[in-house]
A and B are shown apart, each in its own frame.
Chain A
Amino acid sequence: MSSSTRYLGTLAISTLSILCVVALFNWLVDPYGIVRVISVEGFNRIKSQAGQRAEMYKRNGAERTRPHALILGNSRAEIGFDPKSPAWPASTRPVFNLALPGGGINAALDELSQVLTYTQPKLIVVGLDFLDFRIDPAAPADSPPADVDRLRSWRERLSALLSIDALADSIATIKAQRDPYPSSLDVDGFNPMRDYVGIARREGYSSMFRQRDHENAKSYVLGPKTIYRADHLPTSEFRAVERMIEIAHGAGAQLRFVLYPVHAHTLVLFRQAGLWPAFEAWKRELALRVDGAPPGTDVELWDFSGFSPFAVEDVPPPGDTKREMRWYWEAGHFKSSLGDVVLASLLGSPAVQPRLGRRLSARDLEEHLQSQRLELAEYERTHAREVADLAALVEAARLTPRLVGNRK
């Protein structure tokens, strides 16, 4: 045997051995919670990297759980609605949080369709976000929901065992077990935001609010998206709402649409960026569709987006790293403490008080919108300094070169 053939033999055996060791390591650590062969405190219990492949993690989790109640939506629902909340009636447990960060209503419809292939949930809570319904004038008018093919699913599973990203995530998972504030996803899909606890204690809530307000101002002012378009509304998203209503009707499930309880800062930015009329138009369109549900469908639309005592929670001053906020992480994301209040109001649970929100219907919507306008004006009058700060962010964003539109 020549030295070259010996070399090639050693190369082949050694490469295969390395790949086997990596696969075994990833399988044991299981950073995305797919196999859950072992769960050891201090080794792999906290899945700090699960968010890297949240969709796969949650799909596997939901399939294992076969939940009676389902939470769908984007990151606000993922971190705001805890399946362990006392607000969930016993008959709806187990509950699973299938909300995906950055996932719009079409992604939620995809997830729901997947779940229906193996279980029949009794209750479906869907968080709706105004910002997910806007149209990008540069994009095609309609885009079909993404197909989930079996091949892709197998590829994802293989790459969770045999990929450099999975290896890095396995190492990060082990390291994160000693981190006092690791990011992670619970087995029920809820994101407890432990990493935000660390950031808040290090930098203070003011920094987190400031950063989110800054990003929101830029996004609202510079983004190409708008709910208005001469020819039509964002049809794909509203069609997804209609499709969900049809599914709930067919499955005999309760369907609850929730407009998120964002902080007053976000609402003020909507107004300052000129989005308030679109925000109202969006609610009208939703109410029309829910009111038009087939008879016998148990569907409700709830608005938690007003200027409630929760939404106007004071933000600690800059530099204050001691004071914790009770209801919000920052202006876009509410804590599960507020999520519990929302769920209790929505589900009529006596376990959590007080009550919040309002059920919407096209019949009395205008009156509701008018009262929100008054609340907005009142908030702006009583919080002049904060409103001025937000206005400065919007003005600065307007002076920034546009993010899109000048590409070649």
Chain B
Amino acid sequence: MLFNSAVFIFGFFPLVVVVFFRLARSNHLLAAGWLVFASLFFYGWWNPRYVLLLLGSIAFNYASGYRLARIVRSGTSAHSRLLLAVAVTANLLLLGYYKYANFFLQISADLSGHALDIGHVLLPLGISFFTFTQIAFLVDVHRGYAREYNFVHYALFVSYFPHLIAGPVLHHKEMMPQFQEPQTYRVNWENVAVGLTIFAIGLFKKGVIADGVAPYVSPLFASPGRPDFFAAWGGALAYTFQLYFDFSGYSDMAIGLSRVLGIKLPLNFDSPYKAVNIIEFWRRWHMTLSRFLRDYLYFSLGGNRKGPIRRHVNLIVTMLLGGLWHGAGWTFVAWGGLHGMFLVANHGWRALRQRLGHDLENSTLWGRTWARLVTFVAVVVGWVFFRAANFEDAIEILRGMAGLNGFSLPAVFTAVFPWMRSPLEALGVTFSLGGTRRFILQYLWILTLLPFTLLAPNTQEILGRFQPALDFRGSAQSAPRLAWRPSTGWAMAASLVIAAGLLSLSRVSEFLYYQF
């Protein structure tokens, strides 16, 4: 079931909310159990068979965590390590089978020349998310940061429908206390107002913006051929915005839905394209995944504790695996590796500036603008690998972006601006027939969305006064003129946003991050 579908918005969600608060009046555990049931139903809507897989994973990890907590309390660390290793390996094997089996078999076939076929394995939705969530839980139990919990609360933490399919990647320490909090089970109209407003913004981002710009992405990535400069940049930038509005729209919707139920989710996006360097980008993009990779992979590899060389190696390894987490393909690995190198270069640059005596906390407007532009271009280049079907396509698109496939504008351009024909031709620009309308609309979208993503306040900043999400450190001060409050004016404005989102339901499309 999709958040941006009529059956979810007008059927499933209202029913879940009403029954939840009704049950909560008499029994909190029953109400939490209802949310687990609803979440499993939500998951089973896509493929009922995989509900058993999800339940099996929850039961196995709960039992492992329970046993691990007992061992940790008894102080036998060797046993604890062994059990942790077994449990984590089992999780990785499950993920490996469903997500990476065909990828590794292909590599083995390429190397050995002998193909092995295990048939088509359908990737269970959200498996990367619920596996990572539970590995984090097991590691924390082993470290003594977590203890055994009520099974219903644990099952809800893993299966909770707002985050189940595409995150945010939840952490038990921020969710479990909320499930135990009595006020979670009482209707709070402020939560409902804040939650529905955040949901409306998310629906608008997905239905109107991401799906609106999507038609200008596919033609380039489906069959790049030899794209010229404008076609290559047009497609790459359109995808840059599609992915951001799609995924951050999904995250807003998840945060908003959960808030209606009185539960706050962690922040997942914080205007990533405003970042002035790649380190900052990763603090703003898919923040809960970055947090997971940092806490459970980068730190486990030694982080920056073993010298600068090991730190750089750890960064690159973390990002390579982060890339592979997104998909079983070499283009994802390349994307991760590229970002790993960007991060290493960024750390190197900072070290150099420090050595030169620069103040890293203060830079000029020109310096920040330049840094933001360089970061943005680096991110767009990365997205080309992320989206391209294979390396050949990615390289061909990057060649186009570098101007190596020439520059071509619609011929109608010369009809509108005849005086520009000669100077442009002198610069090597050619003029092609057809595609005028598509070209104009594509660049109109891009020129509209670019300043929007670089300058406008984000959802959390607009609703900053009401602590829209966990980890949100800003306040209404971040967007003083656009600070939301439950007033008539804001209700009218929000109704325009939600109406536009609802009107976009007729072109229901899946969220891009469902595939990861």
Give the B-binding residues of A (Cβ under 8 A): 2-8, 10-11, 14-15, 17-19, 22, 155, 158-159, 162-165, 167, 202-203, 207, 210-211, 214-215, 400-401, 403-404, 406-408
Contact = CB atoms under 8 A, between A and B. Distances in A.
Interface of B: 189-190, 192-193, 196, 207-208, 223, 225-226, 329, 389-390, 392, 396, 411-412, 415, 433-434, 485-488, 490-492, 494-496, 498-500, 502-507
Given A7-B193, A8-B193, A10-B491, A15 B502 contact: yes
A164 B495 contact: no
Chain B CB within 10 A, most for which of A10, A165, A211: A10
A163 B491 CA distance: 21
Given A4-B486, A6-B486, A11-B494, A400 B225 contact: yes
Given A7-B193, A7-B487, A165-B506, A214 B433 contact: yes
Contacts, number: 100
Contact of B189 (A2, A207, A214, A408): A2
A21 to B, nearest CB: 9
Given A14-B492, A164-B507, A207-B433, 11 more contacts: A7-B488, A10-B492, A11-B491, A18-B495, A22-B503, A162-B502, A163-B506, A165-B506, A167-B503, A210-B433, A211-B434
A214 B502 CA distance: 41
A407 B499 contact: no
Nearest to B433: A211
A401 B492 CA distance: 52
A17 B492 CA distance: 11
Contacts of B433: 203, 207, 210-211, 214
A164 B508 CA distance: 12
Smallest CB-CB A-B distances: 8 pairs: A14-B495, A7-B486, A159-B506, A10-B491, A163-B506, A4-B189, A18-B499, A211-B433
Nearest to B490: A7
Contacts of B207: 164
Contact of A408 (B389, B486, B488, B505): B389
A206 B392 CA distance: 35
B502 A19 contact: yes
A164 B223 contact: no
B486 to A, nearest CB: 4
Nearest to A21: B499
Contacts of A2: 189-190
Contacts of A214: 433
Contacts of A406: 390, 392
Contacts of B491: 6-8, 10-11, 14
Nearest to A399: B226
Contacts of B390: 406-408
A262 to B, nearest CB: 19
A349 B411 CA distance: 43
A236 B193 CA distance: 55
A404 to B, nearest CB: 7
20 contacts: A2-B190, A3-B485, A3-B486, A5-B189, A7-B193, A8-B192, A10-B492, A11-B494, A15-B495, A15-B499, A19-B502, A162-B503, A164-B207, A165-B506, A167-B503, A203-B411, A401-B226, A408-B329, A408-B389, A408-B390
A15 B197 CA distance: 12
B487 A3 contact: yes
A211 B192 CA distance: 55
